[in-house]
Amino acid sequence: MYLGIVKGTVVASRKAAGLEGQKLLLVQPVDEHGAAVGDVQAAVDTVQAGPGDLVYLVGSREAALACDPWFVPVDAAIVGIVDGVDAPHAGKAPP
């Protein structure tokens, strides 16, 4: 799982079967400091996130498992809205 910041909304009226009604958001993956990591991606939203929210996502097969129905072609899903990150040891080896 990984952190991301919601950058926008994807509107797609024609989607694969099972994805009807699923909200798609554009997400920039970030590290614990909010710095961008990798490319922006489209992700299914399961928690009513909105633009600017720091969220955490699950990828691969587990992304589809976050959806209902779960046998759907999805490879990233937003599964939580982050309220805070405490990372005092980030960027160096723990003591």
* Residue ranges binding other proteins (CB under 8 A): 1-3, 31-32, 37, 46-49, 56, 58-66, 70, 77, 79-95
Q: Tokens standing for 70? A: 């779960």
- Interacting residues of 46 by C-beta distance below 8 A, sequence separation 6+: 66, 67, 77, 78, 79
DSSP 49: -
Nearer to other proteins, 13 or 46 (CB): 46
Nearer to other proteins, 14 or 69 (CB): 69
Q: Shortest Cβ distance from residue 28 to other proteins (Å)?
A: 14
Residue 61: phi, psi to the nearest 5?
-60, -35
Nearer to other proteins, 11 or 91 (CB): 91
